[in-house]
Chain A
Amino acid sequence: MQLDLRTVSIRPKRQTFSHIARRLGADKPASRYQEGTLDLQVTHNFHYRPYWAPQFELFDVRRTAIQMADWYTFKDPRQFYYGTYTLARARQQETTEGAFSFVEERGLVPNLPATVRKQALAVLLPLRHLEWGANMNNDFICAYGYGTAVTQPALFHAMDRLGIAQYLTRIGLTLGSPDDLDAAKQAWLDAPAWQGLRRYVEDTFVLEDWFELFVAQNMVLDGLLYPLAYQHFDVALTQQGGTAVSMLTQFMRDWKAESDKWLDATLKTAAAESPANAAQLHAWVSKWEARALEALAPFATLALGEAGGAALNEVHSQWRGRLTKLGVAPQGAAA
């Protein structure tokens, strides 16, 4: 038996907005992602050139060397608009909150081996500054990028990085004290092991091409750093009794796996557009790959000791496989 609840049925005049229908090829029902994304950015008849960049229109395709016939070829495979984005993150933060409560209530911190605690603080805490840099860079992509299909997920990514910087801060305050945050900041500013990374991040702050920034930050640096910091280092800590720390960084692993879907789709779409795009992306990848490897070598050693070099090689080779699949194969021998 099935209930047959009846409503007054009205035949709508149209299924969606005209600009959406043109993109779908017909007037048919559109998703909220589509209605909230497609063609949302202003494209025509800007009134004034920006004082801060008079060579460009407010939104201008010439702000990157990447060229697209249609900037809405980009799709976020997660179909995130504001509503679905916040719902997804709210679920994750609830899980993370549970992990922090569990670690705190069970008194897991005092029971951590001293070396694990010290090592976690030394490796993870300076990364909060790197995350803040990644926030700035992704906010830049949102501000100066072209087309809501790319700029929207870039802002989500920027806010995610702020969230991660704040989770790392909280890890510092859970495992240690404000003094540890200060010490980590000092290390970020002065310690030789961190200077390559800090220089890399600061150099990305002055990039003018937002797609190069996307490559340098999101594809190259994060692509190599995250597996080291949140997988290899995580395994190393767990083996020494650091499962509690692992619980507190689960957000980063889940987030990275999810976000990579968007990053990969974006790079792949840009590369598939034209040989010129593919060549440009390849040039950027090669340029930043060399710099990232150099910057990450001391970090790998700091995190993993003697095993650091091998871990970086392994991460590097997997990363090359990933980029090859996306149509941006790095050239030359793997390190």
Chain B
Amino acid sequence: MDTKTAGRKLGLKEKYAHMTRGLGWDTTYQPKEKVFPFEQMEGIKIHDWDKWEDPFRLTMDAYWKYQAEKERKLYAIIDAFAQNNGHLNVTDARYINVLKLFLTGVSPLEYMAHRGFAHVGRQFSGVGPRVACQMQALDELRHSQTQIHAISNYNKHYNGMHDFRHMHDRVWYLSVPKSFFDDAVSAGPFEFMVAIGFSFEYVLTNLLFVPFMSGAAYNGDMGTVTFGFSAQSDEARHMTLGLEVIKFILEQDPANLPIVQKWIDKWSWRGIRVLTLVAMMMDYMLPKRVMSWKESWEIYFEQNAGALFKDLARYGITVPECVTTATKEKDHLSHQAWSTFYQYGAAAAFHTWMPSPDEMDWLSAKYPDTFDKHYRPRFEYWREQEAAGNRFYNKTLPMLCQVCQIPMLFTEPDDPTKIAYRETQYKEDKYHFCSDHCQHIFEDEPEKYVQAWLPVHQIYQGNCFPEGTDPTAPDFDPLAAVLQWYHIEFGADNLAFEGSEDEKNFAMWRGMATQNS
């Protein structure tokens, strides 16, 4: 390139600048405020977008080349996995319920991230961050699609994931992850970046995405773990973008600090609440455990995120208060969540079960201060009842937290025998919360959170029955009607794992694959 006509050789950084920010210009036929109408709405002050340091320098031709190479390898393995009935190599059929939770709860979020990053990738007036956001928008589409394609073969053989898109918009526990992302995308563009780019992708990814992939690796699921490995380098880019964004905003103006701190506080808690589902997955749903939720929290939050917040202290950022609560909850979270899902196993699109005696011993060892004292007795009682033919299903509907939308199942941070209830009055109505932090989030933006589509309220209002249902009919069965509306097939997608079609089919197919009769 540096021929006689070109004077000097360009450095990588300079060359990349020509390939990105050199393309932009200040519009004159249309005012900047009309071209980028949302940049001022949150009060974040950016004085000089040129101070943005590109966290990675990837031109489109290189992007196409590297990503295509990864896709080629990934799909070769997904194909081989399907062709060789790889699903029969998982530890046991209970594991497949993890994939149901993942496909119905997480993969649609990847898609929302795709659209959310496309949105902010249009709205920042700085070219550098816009390009980085657009690439992430494209990556997130990749993740949503590769997850669907990797899990597609499981769907052909097992229940509970066949209508994941329909379920995601409707089923009660899926409104927890859904409302989390709706919240982020409906916020202003800078808050979205702090919520998703920083809090979700940087701070929490090792607690959310990684446990699913490690779980796949530990449980013989080659299809899913290959997707995880394939996404690793994308995730590394997303993490550097998330960190760069927060540093850039904070360096631009001291007035940005209180706004950013408020967002970090809010989104740490919103994220931690979503992690409830991961906690129970790690401790109860993986036949072969990777580590306990508590250990995961200690390594990835207390140690790693602790170091991150030390690094951010020079900008004036402090560790969110909610971390104290979350740290107290680490001994309880997974047990409380799993007992809730066990009770509501008739209304979930995956199977639930009580841990075996061995598994209970593992839980006792991992949670020496709490499991035997608070949870084992309840679980053993349920096991006995189950053995006696009285498998317990809770037929009432739980009260939900107005913000995180999780049933009010959490106990007081300092009293594990007492459910935590918080409430506040806003205009004509009373609103309920699972914690101080959810209450604070509500009180800061009540007009936003009063809009929440709360599944239980919606059921009681009659909005979750198939068209033409008559709730006044004498034989009206509300649970059956709601499940029909969810597209949860009674007896196939829900109820106990023991005796389920999944359990029977897996045993039969594995027998066909490993025995001669």
> Which A positions have Cβ atoms within 8 angstroms of B?
7-8, 10, 12-19, 32, 35-36, 39-52, 58-59, 81-83, 86-87, 89-90, 92-94, 96-97, 104, 107, 109-110, 117, 128-129, 131-132, 135-136, 139-140, 142-144, 148, 151-152, 155-156, 158-160, 162-163, 165-167, 169-170, 173-179, 181, 185, 188-189, 198-199, 202-203, 205-206
Answer yes or no: B188 CB below 8 A from chain A CBs: yes
**A10-B157, A47-B451 given as contacts; is B85 within 8 A of A93 (CB)?**
no
CB-based contact A90/B155 at 8 Å: no
Answer yes or no: B199 CB below 8 A from chain A CBs: no
**A90-B68, A93-B61 given as contacts; is B30 within 8 A of A206 (CB)?**
yes
In the complex, residue of chain B having the shortest beta-carbon distance to the beta carbon of A136: B122
A257 to B285, CA, bound (A): 50
A241 to B14, CA, bound (A): 32
CB-based contact A81/B145 at 8 Å: yes
A7 to B81, CA, bound (A): 12
**A8-B85, A19-B163, A143-B121 given as contacts; is B115 within 8 A of A163 (CB)?**
no
Answer yes or no: B479 CB below 8 A from chain A CBs: no
CB-based contact A166/B59 at 8 Å: yes
Name the distance in Å between B285's Cβ and chain A's nearest Cβ: 21
Stretch in B178-186, B275-283, B287-295, B383-391 touching the partner = B178-186
CB-based contact B5/A39 at 8 Å: no
**A169-B19, A176-B5 given as contacts; is B30 within 8 A of A205 (CB)?**
yes
User: Inside 8 A of A199's CB, which chain B residues have their CB?
Assistant: 29
**A44-B170, A90-B69 given as contacts; is B118 within 8 A of A188 (CB)?**
no
Since A13-B158, A35-B149 are in contact, a sample of 9 more A-B pairs with Cβ atoms closer than 8 Å, ordered by chain A residue number, is A7-B83, A13-B157, A16-B156, A32-B145, A39-B166, A52-B41, A151-B118, A175-B5, A203-B29
Q: Closest 9 CB pairs between A and B?
A: A90-B68, A163-B60, A132-B23, A12-B156, A36-B145, A89-B64, A143-B118, A18-B163, A143-B119
User: Inside 8 A of A148's CB, which chain B residues have their CB?
Assistant: 111
Name the distance in Å between B472's Cβ and chain A's nearest Cβ: 25
A149 to B13, CA, bound (A): 37
Residue contacts A-B, CB under 8 angstroms, 23 given: A8-B85, A13-B159, A14-B155, A18-B163, A36-B145, A44-B170, A45-B175, A47-B183, A47-B451, A49-B186, A51-B187, A52-B38, A87-B71, A93-B61, A96-B61, A129-B23, A135-B134, A155-B118, A156-B138, A158-B134, A166-B19, A198-B29, A205-B30
User: Inside 8 A of B74's CB, which chain A residues have their CB?
Assistant: 83
CB-based contact A163/B64 at 8 Å: yes
> Which B positions have Cβ atoms within 8 angstroms of A?
1, 3-8, 10, 14-15, 18-19, 22-25, 27-30, 34-35, 37-38, 41, 59-61, 63-65, 67-69, 71-72, 74-75, 83-85, 108, 111-112, 114-115, 118-119, 121-123, 127, 130-131, 134-135, 137-138, 141-142, 144-146, 148-149, 152, 155-159, 161-166, 168-170, 175, 178-179, 182-183, 185-189, 448-449, 451-453, 458, 487, 505, 509, 512-513
User: Inside 8 A of A107's CB, which chain B residues have their CB?
Assistant: 3
**A83-B75, A128-B23, A158-B134 given as contacts; is B34 within 8 A of A206 (CB)?**
yes
In the complex, residue of chain A having the shortest beta-carbon distance to the beta carbon of B463: A45
CB-based contact A104/B29 at 8 Å: no
**A48-B186, A177-B5 given as contacts; is B509 within 8 A of A10 (CB)?**
yes
CB-based contact B148/A35 at 8 Å: yes
CB-based contact B188/A52 at 8 Å: yes
CB-based contact A18/B162 at 8 Å: yes
Q: Chain A interface mostly helix, strand, loop or mixed?
A: helix
Name the distance in Å between B90's Cβ and chain A's nearest Cβ: 14
User: Inside 8 A of B83's CB, which chain A residues have their CB?
Assistant: 7
CB-based contact A151/B182 at 8 Å: no
CB-based contact B156/A139 at 8 Å: no
User: Inside 8 A of A50's CB, which chain B residues have their CB?
Assistant: 185-186
**A159-B134, A166-B19, A188-B25 given as contacts; is B165 within 8 A of A39 (CB)?**
yes
A59 to B186, CA, bound (A): 10
CB-based contact A35/B141 at 8 Å: no
Name the distance in Å between B332's Cβ and chain A's nearest Cβ: 27
Residue from A139, A167, A198 in contact with B118 in the complex, judged by beta carbons closer than 8 Å: A139
**A8-B85, A17-B162, A82-B141 given as contacts; is B3 within 8 A of A47 (CB)?**
no
Residue from A15, A89, A96, A189 in contact with B156 in the complex, judged by beta carbons closer than 8 Å: A15
In the complex, residue of chain B having the shortest beta-carbon distance to the beta carbon of A135: B134
Residue from B6, B165, B175, B458 in contact with A40 in the complex, judged by beta carbons closer than 8 Å: B165
User: Inside 8 A of A58's CB, which chain B residues have their CB?
Assistant: 182, 185-186
